[in-house]
Structure 1
């Protein structure tokens, strides 16, 4: 059986080899040129693919580097903005504290001035009241004195009136004589 198997192998190889031989005869050098061109194209394609891969890798690296640079710049800007915002907030807090202190001082000074004005007004009012009361007393005293004098004068007026009336009567009587 071994002979038979090897015979079958030879028969099987023979058609393939025969076919290859026929091709070689029919196509000959054209087939070799085509295979050579295909190999050259394959090598050229491989070279170009490697070149394209290197170029893409370089561009990707550049893009990644540019992105990292921009990210770092943005982080720095954010950090600076945060610092500026913190400084502004601190400044506003300090200003608010100072304004509150100044407002409290102004309120205290204003209250003190208001109290002083009230005291001054109360003092002036008391002084004016005292003066007015004193002048009122003096006026009442003078009025009483004048009233008393007038009352005393009324009696004198009655006497004077009687006297004048007597003089008038005498004059009347004296004119008739």
Structure 2
């Protein structure tokens, strides 16, 4: 008859520990080698990950530094552009102010010149009007005098024509003064 192996109540080893013991017997050195290789691979992986992390951190820092440098350059350019724009705006404001002042002065001078010109024209017109009125009065007086003389002396027509031509000539040239 065959004997069946039944666990003893006194046998304290569990099936898991027996399985581990059997593995040790069967796989023994190969398992140790595999565990060592796995440990070495884990350490190698950790080392490479650490190197990769350091390299990534270094590259990130370089990129951040380059980015900050470029941002600083752009800020400087913007600041210079702003200063240039402010300078041009101030220059335009000053020019506008100067032009406005010059325009006001020119308008005032022009108004004064126009007023003076109007006064001079009015004065000259009055003087000419008075002069022509005076000359007209004198011509009429001479004509009346000549007419009276003609009526009283009864001179001929040729003498009268010469006299009227002289009066007309005097009126044109203003020689009667």
Name the residue aligned to 1:174: none
Query: Matched residues in 2 for 1:11 and 1:147: separation?
Result: 177
2:116 is the counterpart of 1:116:
yes
Query: Matched residues in 2 for 1:110 and 1:44: separation?
Result: 96
Identify which range, 97-106 or 141-150, moves more after superposition.
141-150
| TM-score, normalised by the number of residues in structure 2 | 0.73
Name the residue aligned to 1:11: 13
Name the residue aligned to 2:139: 139
Q: Please, which runs of 5 or more residues in structure 1 have no aligned partner?
A: 1-6, 158-177
Bigger helix share: 1
- Map 1:126-165 → 2, pairs under 5 A: 126-154=126-154
Q: Please, which runs of 5 or more residues in structure 2 have no aligned partner?
A: 1-9, 157-177
- Map 1:12-161 → 2, pairs under 5 A: 12=14, 15-154=15-154
Whichever of the two has the greater Rg, that structure is 1
After superposition, the C-alpha distances for 1:24-70 in whole angstroms (9 at most, x for unaligned) are 23223332222222112111110110011101111111122122222
Query: Matched residues in 2 for 1:40 and 1:131: separation?
Result: 132
Name the residue aligned to 2:174: none
Cα deviation, residue 136, structure 1: 0.4
Query: Matched residues in 1 for 2:16 and 2:112: separation?
Result: 124
What is the number of residues matched between the two proteins?
148
Query: Matched residues in 1 for 2:115 and 2:69: separation?
Result: 68
Deviant stretches of 4+, over 3 Å? none
Name the residue aligned to 1:161: none
